Homo-oligomer: A and B are copies of this chain.
Amino acid sequence: MSSEIEQMCIAKGMRMTDQRRVIAKVLSNANDHPDVEEVYRRATDIDSRISIATVYRTVRLFEEAGILERHDFRVESGENRARFELVSEMHHDHLIDIEGGEVIEFHDKEIEELQKKIAEKHGYKLVDHRMELYGVKIR
């Protein structure tokens, strides 16, 4: 059976190679926000004939096709790797545990509404936004 992303690719008329199928599967199954290295690890685990260059090309392709969303979370270690997740029907933002690294997804209608209003107040139509909350667990 083909993965969720593979279906989307087919729907968009993309040429499906073994590599793309594997990467599509890895990303479809991910419920975290892996970076390219991690996708590469998981993909080569399934099929070793995949190069990191192809992973880079493929996540970019998927992103441009509106299948994946790219994030640049600010992270303690200062490493600057982009992380990816499947675009979901429901838009959401992220709360990042700066100690543990976990990422919690949330959606707040009220904030979204306020953001739109702020843009309008300044004479702008809001076309995108980025909101990341950074926190530490209360124990």
Q: Contact residues of A with B, CB < 8 Å?
A: 72, 74, 95, 97-98, 104, 106, 108, 110-111, 114-115, 118-120, 122-138
**CB-CB nearest 4 A-B residue pairs:** A124-B135, A128-B134, A119-B135, A130-B132
Q: How far is the CA of A136 from the CA of B129 in the complex (A)?
A: 12
**Interface contact B126-A129, CB-CB below 8 Å:** no
Known A72-B72, A106-B118, A111-B111; judge A136-B125 contact (CB<8 A).
yes
Copies of this chain, complex-wide, total 2
User: Distance (Å) between the CB of A10 and the closest chain B CB?
Assistant: 28
Secondary structure dominating the interface of A: strand
Cβ-defined partner of A114 (8 Å) among B108, B122, B125, B126: B108
**Interface contact A135-B125, CB-CB below 8 Å:** yes
**Chain B residues whose C-beta falls within 8 Å of the C-beta of A74 in the assembled complex:** 72, 128, 130
Known A72-B72, A104-B122, A122-B95; judge A136-B127 contact (CB<8 A).
yes
**Chain B residues whose C-beta falls within 8 Å of the C-beta of A137 in the assembled complex:** 123-125
Q: How far is the CA of A137 from the CA of B125 in the complex (A)?
A: 6
User: Distance (Å) between the CB of A52 and the closest chain B CB?
Assistant: 19
Cβ-defined partner of A110 (8 Å) among B95, B97, B114: B114
**Chain B residues whose C-beta falls within 8 Å of the C-beta of A124 in the assembled complex:** 95, 97, 104, 133, 135-138
**Interface contact A135-B126, CB-CB below 8 Å:** yes
